[in-house]
Amino acid sequence: MLARKRLLITGVLTRKSIAFAVAHEAQLAGAEVLLTGFGRTRRMTERAAARLPDPPDVLELDVNAEDDLAALAAEVEQRWGGLDGVLHAIAFAPADAIGGKFLETPPESAMEAFRTSAYSYQALARHLAPLMDSGGSVVGLDFDASVAWPSYDWMGVAKAALEAVNRYLARELGPRGIRANLVSAGPIASPAAGGIPGFDGLSGSWPEVAPLGWDADNPTPIARAVCFLLSDWSEAISGELLHVDGGAHAIAGVAPSRAESTAPFRVRLSAERLVGASGRASWGRASRRRP
C-alpha cells in the first residue's frame, strides 16, 4: 500500500508512541521513513528508531522554530528529492493550561498550547508541501473537539483549532494535489497518556462503551488508519476527521465523575464523552513535542 512512499513521521518518543506504530506499519507496507526528534528527548527517539524493522535516521526538529523547519525541508529534499507524506503527532499545553485551570490560565500559556498543538500543523505542512510536487498527504493526530472535555481546558481549545487548521489546509493544499486529514483515536497507553488525570479509569471503561471494544495497549488500528490516509487509497479524501475509537464517539456514554478531575472515570449515559489525549497531547514539558 505504501511501496516506494517517502514519509516523514514526527512524534516518536518510545515504542509505545502511536507515531512509532505508524512508522512500523508504514515500513511493513513498503515505505521509506524518516523520524524527527528534539533536544534531550532525541536520544529516546533514536533508541525507539533502532527497534523498527529498518531503523531510520532521526532529524532534529523544534516545530516552533522556523529555522528548524526550513533546515528539515532542506535535509529531506537533499536525501530524497521530494516527499509523499508527513505525520504531525505533536502537541503541548503548559501545566497551568490544563487540569481544571481554564479560567486561571494566563494568555501566554494559552498561546503556547495553540502554537505547539495547532499552528505547528500549518507550519510543518507549509515547509514540506513544496516537496510534494506529485501530490501527497498530510495527516495529524487529534481527538474530537466538538464539545468541552473535563480537565482538557486549553488543550481542548487548541485541538478545536487544529481541526479548523486541517480544513483550511485541505482548501489551500488541494489544488496542489495534497490531502490534509486528521485521525481521532481512543485512549492509548502512550507516554503522553501518563500525565492525564484519570487516564487509567478512562481507558478501563472505554471497552464498555465502544461498540467494537477497545484495547488501550494496541495502537496498531490507529496506525493502519494513518497509513491508509498516507496512501493513494485515500486519493479523494481531504479535510476529514477519521475516528478510530471502536465507535465510542457515536455513543453518549463515557464520562468522568464530577467530584474531582483526577477521580476514577465511570460509565454513564451522558451528553459528554471525555476523550483522552490518546497518545497525542503532551502534558509535561519532557514530552512537549513528542506525543
Residue-level pLDDT at 150: 76
Q: What is the pLDDT of residue 143?
A: 79
Mean pLDDT of the chain: 85
Q: Please report the DSSP string for 41-70 in residue order.
A: GHHHHHHHHTTSSSPPPEEE--TT-HHHHH
**Amino acid sitting at position 205:** S
pTM of the shown model: 0.86
Q: Return d(Cα 98, Cα 208) in angstroms, integer.
A: 27
Domain spans of the chain, in order of start: 6-199+213-247+275-287
182: left (phi over 0), alpha (psi -120 to 50) or beta: beta
Question: Predicted confidence band at 195 (pLDDT cuts at 50, 70, 90)?
Answer: low
Active site residue 159: yes
Pairing of strands 254-256, 265-267: antiparallel
Res. 264 pLDDT band, cuts 50 70 90: very low
Q: What is the pLDDT of residue 199?
A: 56
Query: Among the options 5, 16, 121, 152, which is catalytic?
Result: 152
121 is catalytic: no
Q: Is the pLDDT of residue 283 over 70?
A: no
CATH number given to 6-199+213-247+275-287: 3.40.50.720
Among residues 45, 47, 33, 49, the alpha carbon closest in space to that of 86 is found at 33
Q: Which of 119, 121, 159, 168 is catalytic?
A: 159
